[in-house]
Amino acid sequence: MRVVIFCHSLKSCWNHGNAHFLRGIASELAARGHDVRIWEPADGWSRENVVRDHGADALERYREAYPALESTEYDIGKLNLNAALEDAGLVLVHEWNEPSLVAAIGEHRAKQKAGYVLLFHDTHHRSASDPGALRRYDLRHYDGVLAFGSVIRDIYLKHGWARRAWTWHEAADTRVFYPRPAEIEPVGDLVWIGNWGEGERTAELEEFLIGPVRDLRLRARIYGVRYPEPALEALRSAGIEYAGWLPNHRAPEVFASHRVTVHVPRRFYSTLLPGVPTIRVFEALACGIPLVSAPWADAEGLFTPGEDFLVARDANEMRRHLATLFEDATLRRDMAERGFATIRARHTCAHRVDELMQVYEEITAPVREVIA
């Protein structure tokens, strides 16, 4: 089947976490024999930023891990949807696309009476934090929404933004994210991979990351982008090395060279969106590194908190958990093994493609029954 994906970027993961999941899903679909076609805007914000900071070659770095994945760049004013959607069986349109394009694809399906299944894919907190932004999207001609958490799925249905919606959590691409050899010598105690963003977790990062690292005098390194000068100064004052942008496929080797990582969810995920972890939780556990998380409610039972990872309710508990992990190598090993086993059993991109195909079958079943 031809699967067509419209995304913000396949090539750039600069402040663009959806690229992580997209690459894994596209790889899994292709491995199963599907013809995957990916379209991204030539002037995408993430692309422009990574080129500005690291040069045009940075757009090719993803090929180190995904040599077979390709995308077609388009100018939205010149995009020929008839050509882009020719022979499509399934079309995924990510939420980080221009509303005009989202609407145009829906209109194409309606006017051409095209037979492809058309799904809108939402992996952001906007539906809860800024519902007005979602009203810009015309989903009348879509078969439904794939939401990366049940709370988001329910928002779409409650507001009538979509006729149908399914929960489709993110997951780890275990072709790339897996434990590296134990012989890799740790170069630091703790690593955190995450972007500063718009200040949604400034206080949380001080409480659950910067403060504990400073108090425990850990050798720590942080990767990410969009760190303002006050944030950089806070890291320097705590003795934390700031290492800048990390191409996402390089994260496994970085995890392997540190003993522990932490998860500090943005405020919206710890308050408005219970049950929605970011993809970095899946990826870290897939790499077999012990993880301590700031509070978030695993309302959908994706993991077993306390076994797959530890949860710190405040700064004091974060310090205690980290200190215990550094003192107890057996605990570090056992936690890493449990987290890794949970990912392998339930949260790989192969599992998510199985779920996607189930959605496809559910949508097309009535049509097949009529033909039969």
pLDDT digits (tens, 9 = 90+) for 205-238: 999 999 999 999 999 999 999 999 999 999 999 9
Q: What whole-number distance in Å separates Cα of residue 218 and Cα of residue 228?
A: 23
Pick from 89, 1, 30, 16: which is nearest to 246 by CA? 16
Kindly state the tokens that stand for 345. Answer: 């059993």
Residue with tokens 């995904």: 66
Q: What whole-number distance in Å separates Cα of residue 367 and Cα of residue 372?
A: 9
One-letter amino acid at 236 equals R
C-alpha dist (Å) from residue 272 to 150, 246, 281, 304, 354:
12, 28, 18, 21, 28
pLDDT at 341: 98
pTM of the shown model? 0.96
Q: What whole-number distance in Å separates Cα of residue 340 and Cα of residue 185?
A: 20
Helix/strand/coil percent split, the chain, to 5? 45, 15, 40
CB contact set of 232 (below 8 Å; sequence gap of 6+): 242
Q: Which residues of the chain have pLDDT under 50?
A: none
CB 343 within 8 A of CB 174: yes
pLDDT digits (tens, 9 = 90+) for 16-74: 999 999 999 999 999 999 999 999 999 999 999 999 999 999 999 999 999 999 999 99
Secondary structure letter of residue 59 according to DSSP: G
- What's the number of CA atoms in the CB half-sphere (13 Å) around residue 122? 30
Q: What are phi and psi of 275, to 5 degrees?
A: 90, 5
pLDDT at 368: 57
pLDDT at 271: 78
Q: What are phi and psi of 88, to 5 degrees?
A: -70, 140
